[in-house]
Amino acid sequence: MSERYMEVVTTPVFLEKRLSGNEPPRCVDGRPSDDSEQGPQMLGGSINVILLECIYNGRSLNEQNAVDDIENLHEMEFNTGAHRGQHAHGEASDCGFADRMRDILRVAVEKRDLITKHLLSIYDQNKESFPPLPFNELMEKAYEKIEAYSPDEIKIKGEELVALVEKTDSKVETVRDDHTEEAAFVNLVEGTTLDTSGLNQEGTQVFNLDIFEVAKHAKASGVPEDFSIPASLILYAATEIVLVEDKGKPALPVEIHF
């Protein structure tokens, strides 16, 4: 086996970093950033939580509701954050999740069977590390709300939404370069995140979702974890399809970090 082949099949190692709990959330984006506190990784940073709250309660994602969600998080003593990228222009923030939210929701519904099968196979492969879960029931319930939520309820997205989050006392960081993510991690270790900057120094990029950190912020927003966890995994899978596979790149391996 040549060394080159070895490189292709090796999944990057998860570089775990402990969180202080005060860092503002950042995106699952794996690109380098020069101004990041390396906070917990969520879809679009705190935008993940805003969208979950709106879907869960059937509310429009408009300016007022987004500001309410951010201010509520501050009252609950959570910092908030989002990001832009070097390719931001006009209405595009270059945060794929913020820019493509409507498409991501649409794909989550259109590809329900595929996403459910994919998540079930990941769960099955790692079953011994999880407590017994009513997997199908959790997915069913999460999808009930996701399918009832029209993408047209997203009234504000992209740069407009990132700028609004920024204006509402949040940290907005900037990532640079192009996407070259090699894998999509789901981190199950509470109070930790991925040291993306360490990985970037090794020339590697990966996506990472700190699922229990999302659950913590969502809970402070009134969204229980039996919704926030499956719904975020569904949206993460849909994001990967929209931002990677639909752009003609091969599907990324999903890795669970315990």
**Are residues 53 and 148 in contact, defined by beta-carbon separation less than 8 angstroms?**
no
Query: 14 or 97: whose CB is closer to Zn ion?
Result: 97
Cβ-based neighbours of 89, under 8 Å, separated by 6 or more? none
Residue 50 CA to residue 41 CA, distance in Å, equals: 14
Q: How many residues bind Zn ion (CB under 5 A)?
A: 5
Residue window 39-68: x/- pattern of binding to Zn ion, with contact defined by CB under 5 A: -----x------------------------
Distance of CA 211 to the CA centre of its chain: 8
User: Pattern of binders to Zn ion over 84-113, x per CB under 5 A?
Assistant: -----------x-x----------------
Q: Which is nearer to Zn ion, 128 or 178 (CB)?
A: 178
CB of 243 to Zn ion, least distance (A): 9
Q: How far is the CB of 102 from Zn ion (least distance, A)?
A: 15
Q: In this complex, which beta carbon is closest to Zn ion, that of residue 93 or of residue 228?
A: 93
Residues 205-234 that bind Zn ion (CB under 5 A): none
What are the start-end ranges of the H helices in 16-134? 47-57, 63-75, 96-99, 101-110, 112-125
Q: Exactly one of 15, 27, 183, 244 binds Zn ion (CB under 5 A); which one?
A: 27
Amino acid letter, residue 213: E
39 versus 44: smaller Cβ distance to Zn ion:
44
> Closest separation between CB of residue 231 and Zn ion, Å?
18
Smallest distance from the beta carbon of 26 to Zn ion, in angstroms? Answer: 8
CA 251/CA 258 separation, integer angstroms: 22
Query: In degrees rounded to 5, what are phi and psi of residue 224?
Result: -70, 155
What are residue 175's phi and psi, to 5 degrees?
Answer: -100, 155
Least distance between Zn ion and beta carbon 14 (Å) = 19
Q: Tell how strand 171-175 and strand 184-187 pair up.
A: unpaired
Q: Which of 12, 14, 24, 29 binds Zn ion (CB under 5 A)?
A: 29
For residues 16 and 257, is the Cβ–Cβ distance under 8 A?
yes
Nearer to Zn ion, 54 or 161 (CB): 161
Whichever of 12 and 96 has its CB closer to Zn ion, that residue is 96
First-to-final CA distance of the chain = 30
Instruction: Give whole-number Cα distances, 68 to 23, 25, 49, 62, 218, in Å.
Output: 20, 17, 12, 10, 13
Distance in Å, CB of 175 to Zn ion, minimum: 8
Interface ranges with Zn ion (CB under 5 A): 27, 29, 44, 95, 97
